[in-house]
Structure 1
């Protein structure tokens, strides 16, 4: 089996070098794509940025080159957003367990505490789409009671609150508002970075 390679050259941002796009294919009609920047001058001021995008319903990857300083700013905003999200998620998970764990566990007290009974409850409250066999394999690594308790998380808030009959929780609803400032800062930094990018 042999691979054939074809290079396409485009001028870089400063005009002193090239962007090289390489396409490789084999006898099985498999293709590989790569791109690289062949310009010492541009590499002083720009760094590689790889990002995902959706094309025709499929996730694809693209490579571009972005201003080094703008990239550093974007990275700092991105890291700050991740740290804030992690801190808030921990706080909101603690709130969920404090306020709703006992009410959630009480929903399972009217039937035998077996895997079949718990699976049926999970199906009822839309907390699982697994078949019974798959559900059993997922619960083998921990006790059944611990598995039930571990569902009380912020990410399951709508399902848990609906199951126990709670219509809303203002504290939980403040999560998005707390993140919005950091998300906007990250998005603005990325937008500015991409506006001066090239590929």
Structure 2
């Protein structure tokens, strides 16, 4: 069950908006598509699909945009907690259970650059290796194929609010100074040369 609710006060009425962490529950169905070594990353992870072709994806991307300030705060918190580059990731087909404290909501996980290395996908890795964690938060939205063997992914970059940057200025500087340079691991030579770009495997 999803847990870990993060709130940001929004609006003049003081309403609070929750961001839910799935604690891995939303990612579990995607482990084959993300990490399988039986197929090359180009056959498992697909970019460039029109998000409006599936209402789950289009609506979630609009939700991410609407909640960008809160997601930026969560992403910054995760970066400072882990001391590693990373990204927020969410499953377009996952919602919190009906009996949870905040039902039927998207849920997010933090994936570090070291975890993304294991995907061997260039775009996932470069997105996290190249961004400035003191100014941006990266968000990945994915939708699995029916078989779960592949996924389509969309990326959004959220700019940190200046107030957040100033509040955490010293912590950001200290954490960034300790970051190491990360390579990008891409290994397709052990796989077949099939380049068919299909999603529903």
TM-score normalised per structure 2: 0.23
Q: Greater Rg, structure 1 or structure 2?
A: 1
Quick check: which one's helix share is greater?
Answer: 1
TM-score normalised per structure 1: 0.23
* Higher relative contact order, chain-length normalized (CA < 8 Å, sep 6+): 2
